[in-house]
Structure 1
Amino acid sequence: MRQWIGRQVIVHYEEDGMIQIRGTVERMNYADKCLILGPKMQSIPFEQISVIEPLNADHKGRSRRRLNSVGYVMSDMLQFDNAVYFQSAVTVWQGEQLVAYNLRIRSHDRNFAVMADGRKLSKDTCTFVVRSLRG
């Protein structure tokens, strides 16, 4: 498993259901039998890990969750749920035009997101970029 150290990966593991997490493998702690995944230095026991996948341009989900200069392009329902729950600052683009800057999402459903100012924006025509904390 040493070949994963320093690489960006997706780790699938079981802890009260299947969880998928992305990060950089910082080290393998063989004494405690766990993998340390950065940037949050999360410890994942070896026995719970089901799959480790490299995170590269060929990965299926990579094109949907691409890195933007200010954060991540949101595409999954969970990302929208988290943005609502954590009151994350979101920037919204429609093509080349900036539609909303540094706004919160009040609520969302499968097709639309309701912004804090009351506007209802389509998820199909707009690109939602959530700010990310980089350490």
Structure 2
Amino acid sequence: MRQWIGRQVIVHYENDGMMQVRGTVERMNYTDKSLILGPGMQSIPFERISIIQPLHTDSRNRSRAKLHSVGYIMTDMLQFDNAVYFQSAVTVWQGERLIAYNSSVRSHDRDFVIMTDGRKLSKKDYTFVVRSLRGC
């Protein structure tokens, strides 16, 4: 049951009829033989649990990795190489105008960047901000 710790789940359990509750598995209390479900720190005895289901069925939502809130302006060729290799989230700005949000770079050379949607953008006319993944 340790694989559920930290994940958002739906717990189906018996309590004067079948009940279900949603929350995040905070920990397992092996002395009381119960599962602690947040945010209300509800204790559910192991013997009453009939099934535990992940709250999100989409594999992208099950990942613990999240986009980091801090972005970095790409200026170096290696930064562009890494953005292509890791398919990092890239935001493109032209001055104060947002051109692309949460896009990715397909390729680049010394002067131009080709986005995954096919747009060819000049490095000197646009600002490219990369956000990396944080987590496991």
Structure of larger gyration radius? 2
TM range (shorter): 0.3 to 0.5
TM-score, normalised by the number of residues in structure 2: 0.47
Larger relative contact order, structure 1 or 2 (CA cutoff 8 Å, min sep 6): 2
TM-score, normalised by the number of residues in structure 1: 0.47
